[in-house]
C-alpha cells in the first residue's frame, strides 16, 4: 500500500479498512506521566513526547456542549485537592466530594451524592431539568485543536456515560448503587430515564455539530460490578439508541470499556457500536484480541495490552503483542494501544521501541 498519514491510518482502522501498517496509540495525556520520567522527558510537553515516540495520535477533546437549567443548579468548588459539587433543587440539595490523587492524576469520589431513597428523587429532578445546548466557544476551540493536529492523528470526544455506569461510578457508588437499585427499582429506573434523555440529546447535538473524528461512550464497563443481565437491561438498549443516532449520520461510535468483558462479548457483538477502546488483556482485563475478533468479527478493537505488561521490558511486551497478532485471522480494525493509561513506570524509550515494532509488523489485510 501507499504510505498513509496517521490520520488516514486511524480513519481506515475505524472503518475496518486496510491500513499501510497498524496504528499505535500510547495513552499519555498529561504531566502525570512526564513528571515521573528522567530528563529530558520530564521537561517535555505532551505533544513533544508524542512526536518523539512517533505514535499515531487520537486526542481527546471536551464535548462542545453545555448544560442549561431552569429550576435546579449544579455548582462545583475546588479547594486544596478537594472538589465539592452541590446539586440544588426545589426538593433538596445533594453533595458530592472528590479528592485529587497526584499519582494517578485524577479525581476520585469519596462521598456520593445519592445515599438514601429520598435522594433518588432529588437527583431525578437534576437530570429532568437539564437541557443540552451547543457551546460555540468550545466548538471553536475544538476546530482549532483539530487544525493543529492535522494529519498527525485524529480527535474524539465523549457523549457521556450510560445511566447504569454513571449511577454506579459517580452518583451512588458500586455498593450503594446496587443496593438502591435492588430495593427501589422503580425510582432508580425513573432516574435512569431522565439520564437517558440527556444523553440522547447530547448524542444528537454532537453528531450534528462536533468536528471530531469519532464519538465515544465513556463506559468503563466491567463484569466485576455489572452483571451480563444488568448490562442487557440497563446498558444495551440505551447505548444502542445513542449508537443509532451517531451511525445513522455515517460517523464512528466507539465504547470505552476497560474492564472484564468476556461475559459481555456475545451481547456487544449485536450492538450498533463500531468498536471497543481500552480492550484490556489479562491479568488486568480478561479478553485478548483473539477473543474479541472471534466473538465480534466486525468490531474495531483498540488495545491489546494491559498496564502490568507495560512494566515489563520492551522485548517481553513485543513478544506478547506479536503472539496475539499472529493468531488473528486478519488485522483490519486493530489498533495497538496501552489499553488504559500508560503507567508512569514504563519508560519513554520502551514505548518508542514498541511503537517502532508495531509500525514494522507485517500485517495481513
Put residue 234 in one of left, alpha, beta given phi > 0 → left and psi -120 to 50 → alpha.
alpha
In which band, very low, low, confident or very high, does the pLDDT at 1 lie, cut at 50, 70 and 90?
confident
Mean pLDDT calculated for residue range 4-18 = 98
* Model confidence at 300: pLDDT above 90: yes
Distance in angstroms (rounded) separating the CA atoms of residues 310 and 183? 42
What phi and psi values does residue 97 have, to the nearest 5 degrees? -130, 130
* Model confidence at 103: pLDDT above 90: no
Q: Would you state the pLDDT for residue 291?
A: 98
* Model confidence at 134: pLDDT above 90: yes
Mean pLDDT calculated for residue range 125-146 = 98
Residue 107 grid cell: 479525581
Residue 112 grid cell: 456520593
Distance in angstroms (rounded) separating the CA atoms of residues 364 and 247? 27
Tell me the pTM. Answer: 0.96
In which band, very low, low, confident or very high, does the pLDDT at 206 lie, cut at 50, 70 and 90?
very high
13 contacts 23 by C-beta, under 8 angstroms:
yes
Q: Would you state the pLDDT for residue 105?
A: 85
Q: Would you state the pLDDT for residue 325?
A: 98
Q: Would you state the pLDDT for residue 317?
A: 98
The torsion angle over the Cα atoms of residues 27, 33, 39 and 40, rounded to 10 degrees, is 40
**6-65+135-167+210-360 adopts what CATH topology?**
TIM Barrel (3.20.20)
Mean pLDDT calculated for residue range 105-111 = 93
Distance in angstroms (rounded) separating the CA atoms of residues 323 and 292? 15
Q: Would you state the pLDDT for residue 102?
A: 87
Distance in angstroms (rounded) separating the CA atoms of residues 73 and 85? 10
Residue 266 grid cell: 456475545
What phi and psi values does residue 261 have, to the nearest 5 degrees? -120, -5
Distance set, CA 192 to CA 222, 239, 322 (Å): 19, 12, 42
pLDDT tens profile 230-277 = 999 999 999 999 999 999 999 999 999 999 999 999 999 999 999 999
Give the 3-state secondary structure of residue 67.
strand
With a pLDDT cut of 90, the percent of the chain lying above it is 98
CA atoms within 13 A on the CB side of 308: 8
In which band, very low, low, confident or very high, does the pLDDT at 104 lie, cut at 50, 70 and 90?
confident
Amino acid at each position: 500500500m501507499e504510505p498513509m498519514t496517521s490520520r488516514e491510518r486511524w480513519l481506515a482502522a475505524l472503518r475496518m479498512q486496510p491500513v499501510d501498517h497498524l496504528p499505535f496509540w500510547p495513552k499519555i495525556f498529561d504531566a502525570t506521566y512526564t513528571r515521573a520520567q528522567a530528563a529530558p522527558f520530564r521537561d517535555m510537553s505532551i505533544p513533544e513526547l508524542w512526536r518523539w515516540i512517533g505514535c499515531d495520535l487520537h486526542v481527546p477533546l471536551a464535548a462542545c456542549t453545555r448544560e442549561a437549567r431552569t429550576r435546579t443548579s449544579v455548582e462545583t468548588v475546588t479547594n486544596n485537592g478537594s472538589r465539592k459539587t452541590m446539586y440544588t433543587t426545589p426538593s433538596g440539595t445533594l453533595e458530592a466530594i472528590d479528592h485529587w490523587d497526584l499519582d494517578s492524576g485524577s479525581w476520585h469520589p469519596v462521598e456520593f451524592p445519592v445515599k438514601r431513597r429520598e435522594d433518588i428523587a432529588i437527583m431525578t429532578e437534576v437530570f429532568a431539568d437539564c437541557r443540552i445546548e451547543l457551546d460555540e466557544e468550545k466548538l471553536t476551540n475544538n476546530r482549532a485543536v483539530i487544525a493543529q493536529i492535522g494529519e498527525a492523528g485524529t480527535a474524539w470526544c465523549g457523549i457521556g456515560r450510560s445511566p447504569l455506569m454513571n449511577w454506579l461510578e459517580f452518583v451512588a457508588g458500586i455498593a450503594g448503587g446496587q443496593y438502591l437499585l435492588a430495593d427501589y427499582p422503580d425510582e432508580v429506573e425513573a432516574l435512569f430515564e431522565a439520564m437517558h434523555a440527556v444523553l440522547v440529546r447530547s448524542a444528537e447535538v454532537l453528531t450534528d455539530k462536533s468536528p471530531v473524528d469519532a464519538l465515544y461512550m465513556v463506559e468503563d464497563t466491567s463484569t466485576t460490578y455489572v452483571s451480563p443481565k444488568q448490562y442487557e437491561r440497563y446498558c444495551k438498549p440505551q447505548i444502542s439508541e445513542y449508537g443509532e443516532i451517531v451511525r445513522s449520520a455515517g460517523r464512528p461510535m466507539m465504547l470505552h470499556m476497560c474492564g472484564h468483558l468476556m461475559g459481555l462479548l456475545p451481547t456487544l457483538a449485536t450492538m450498533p457500536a463500531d468498536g471497543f477502546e481500552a480492550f484490556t488483556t489479562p491479568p488486568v482485563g480478561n479478553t485478548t484480541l483473539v477473543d474479541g475478533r472471534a466473538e465480534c468479527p466486525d468490531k474495531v478493537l483498540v488495545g491489546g495490552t494491559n498496564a502490568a505488561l507495560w512494566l515489563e521490558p520492551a522485548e517481553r511486551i513485543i513478544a506478547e503483542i506479536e503472539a496475539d497478532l499472529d493468531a488473528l485471522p486478519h488485522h483490519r480494525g486493530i489498533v495497538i494501544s496501552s489499553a488504559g493509561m500508560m503507567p508512569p513506570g514504563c519508560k519513554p524509550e520502551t514505548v518508542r521501541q514498541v511503537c517502532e515494532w508495531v509500525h514494522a509488523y507485517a500485517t495481513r489485510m
